[in-house]
Structure 1
Amino acid sequence: MDIRNLEYFIEVARRKSFSQAAEAIHISQPSISRAIKELETQFGITLFYRNTKYVELTDAGEFILEQAQQVVSSFENISTKLEGLTKMQAGKLHIGLPPITAVTTFAHLLSAFRKAYPKIRIQLYEFGPKKIETSIQDGLLDMGIFTPDESTELYEKIWFEKDPLNVIVHPAHRLAARDIINYQDLKDEEFIIYNSDYKLYDIIVSGCKQAGFTPKIALETSQREMMTQMVATNYGIALLPSKICKSLDTKTIVSKPFIDPKFCLRLALVWKKDRYLSHAFREFLTFVKKEYGVAEAL
């Protein structure tokens, strides 16, 4: 069995697309298709359901995926240990990032890590928080950035971001002249809000309910640009992390601090508890902990 066929199979499962998998690993789509066909012939099973929009693992494909990940991880571990004999630091990591939140701090860390470990490749995937969490559980991502449930014992995590939420409004909005905004100011407003994939949806709705009202939601979205565009047309108000607000055009959007200090975005670097940690994974965690280890108390 060619180990590359298993790697191609895992990439297609991760991307749910033959064409996107081929583009990600820089080979032709026919080569990807041929590799999957060889595996299906070898095992005598169908690995994917296929249609014009996406591909999905069959039950047999799910089973093969779990075994393939173990085989590829073991193979990569052998390679990494051999490279270690010549004092080379190498490997690959798959990390999921949410599209709507500001991860500027983490981006600086990734840049610093790449300079320190140029042979360790980091592949980034932009997914919603729920898909990041599912992909970590399925082994398709090594780690991801989201707000984990603190009561769960499924994950290990390093907290690295705590960013208060600001209220953003149109310059002509009645709240634009306020120095600070409280819950009662928002009682009659139309909210442009993160969709329910995001922990901030729960934080905002829960905070408003505790203040005695249910927010009027005009739009739920996973697109930050959609949120800011709707606010810029005075369609409603939104709450965004303060670091994002600093980059907004003050001619079209006004940002005001919110009075509740608990009203904030908290992000952690999360990975599955008790999973196998490759050499690259361990090096990355060591690097991150040097930067954010004290952030556990956030």
Structure 2
Amino acid sequence: MEIRHLEYFLEVSRHKSFSKAAEVTHISQPTISKAIKDLETELGKTLFYRSTKYVELTDTGKAILDQAQQIVASFRNIHVQLEGLEKQEIGKVHIGLPHITAVTTFSHVLGAFKHHYPRIEIQLYEYGPKKIEASLQEGLLDFGIFTPEDSDLFEWIWFERDPHSVVMNPTHWLACHNMIGYENLQGEQLIIYNSDYKLHDIILDRCKLSGFIPQVAFETSQRELMIQMVTAGLGVALLPSKICQDLDPEIVISRPLTDSQLYLELALTWKRGRYLSHAASRFLNFFKLNLTER
């Protein structure tokens, strides 16, 4: 068994697809398939159910998933530590960020960092906030972008605070309002974050405090799907205002939500006490400096 076998196993389990895993790892699909087959032969167990529509972990696959993650995380740490010691301006930085964000500040800093350190590779992973948090704890990510709370587990730097707006079809009756309160949402079909986001529960609780049980039409982590459903007139969505600024007003429009306390607050977060490679340390220091300058 080689470490690459476990890396390929993790990528297939993460993406539920051999072809997607091959795309992400920049190798051929037959190579991925052979590596998984070799691993299954060595273990004497089938790790994935395979069909023409999907790939899913077997019970055996699920049983070894945690150990495989730990082994790969440990190997990466060793590899990146040595890499960082030898040449401080090369290496990889693994960052997790949620789907429903308009991380303008982060994007600017990231672009500037790549300009200064072109040989340091930034790998971005789009996950829900809860998965980002778990991946940080497991050592699979160097940094995560989400709303941290546990200072015993994490350290962080706040950089984004984005209030919410209500997004609707231009023909919707709420379009005549300059601002929209929760009371206006009573009886409306809501399209909101799924339960991977803490804001999911906050939105539901705020509606209940306003005296009604919200009618949730759909929950998702995909902002494009949210907007498509709004465009089709299937409901109204709540999205961060910076995302709304880029929407086509001919298709959808937005109005500020009167709740000034409902905002998407994001921080660059890392696991307390975890070793950061030279590449990751350079990114963190660069982020601190450029965030202050902005």
Normalising by structure 2, we get a TM-score of 0.85
Q: Which residue of 1 aligns with 2:116?
A: 116
Shift of 1:20: 3.0
The structure-2 alpha-carbon separation of the partners of 1:193 and 1:13, relative to structure 1 and needing over 3 Å to count, comes to closer
Question: How many Å separate the matches in 2 of 1:211 and 1:103?
Answer: 30
Contact kept? 1:171, 1:252, Cα under 8 Å: yes
SS in 1 for 2:109: helix
Q: Which residue of 1 aligns with 2:171?
A: 172
- The equivalences for 1:1-298 within 5 A come to 8=8, 11-12=11-12, 15=15, 17-35=17-35, 45=43, 49-52=47-50, 53-54=54-55, 56=57, 57-60=61-64, 62-84=66-88, 89-148=89-148, 150-151=149-150, 153-292=152-291
Deviations 1:189-222 (A, max 9, x none): 2212121112221221122222222222122222
Question: How many Å separate the matches in 2 of 1:214 and 1:141?
Answer: 38
SS in 2 for 1:106: helix
Shift of 1:125: 1.7
SS in 2 for 1:274: coil
> Aligned letter for 1:143?
F
Structure 1 stretch 48-57 or stretch 251-260: which is displaced more? 48-57
SS in 2 for 1:51: strand
Contact kept? 2:166, 2:180, Cα under 8 Å: yes
Question: How many Å separate the matches in 1 of 2:46 and 2:134?
Answer: 19
Shift of 1:158: 1.7
Shift of 1:2: 6.1
Shift of 1:279: 1.0
Shift of 1:74: 1.3
The structure-2 alpha-carbon separation of the partners of 1:291 and 1:209, relative to structure 1 and needing over 3 Å to count, comes to farther
Question: How many Å separate the matches in 2 of 1:4 and 1:215?
Answer: 48
Contact kept? 2:15, 2:21, Cα under 8 Å: yes
> Aligned letter for 1:273?
R
Shift of 1:278: 1.0
Structure 1 stretch 221-230 or stretch 104-113: which is displaced more? 221-230
SS in 2 for 1:168: strand
> Aligned letter for 2:259?
D
**Between the two proteins, what is the percent identity of the paired residues?**
52
Shift of 1:64: 4.4
> Aligned letter for 1:110?
L
Contact kept? 2:155, 2:271, Cα under 8 Å: yes
The structure-2 alpha-carbon separation of the partners of 1:286 and 1:207, relative to structure 1 and needing over 3 Å to count, comes to same
Deviations 1:13-33 (A, max 9, x none): 655554433322322234345
SS in 2 for 1:275: coil
The structure-2 alpha-carbon separation of the partners of 1:168 and 1:92, relative to structure 1 and needing over 3 Å to count, comes to same
Deviations 1:100-127 (A, max 9, x none): 2222322222111110111110111222
Give aligned pairs, total.
288
The structure-2 alpha-carbon separation of the partners of 1:117 and 1:6, relative to structure 1 and needing over 3 Å to count, comes to farther
The structure-2 alpha-carbon separation of the partners of 1:25 and 1:174, relative to structure 1 and needing over 3 Å to count, comes to closer
RMSD: 2.8
Contact kept? 1:9, 1:36, Cα under 8 Å: yes
Normalising by structure 1, we get a TM-score of 0.84
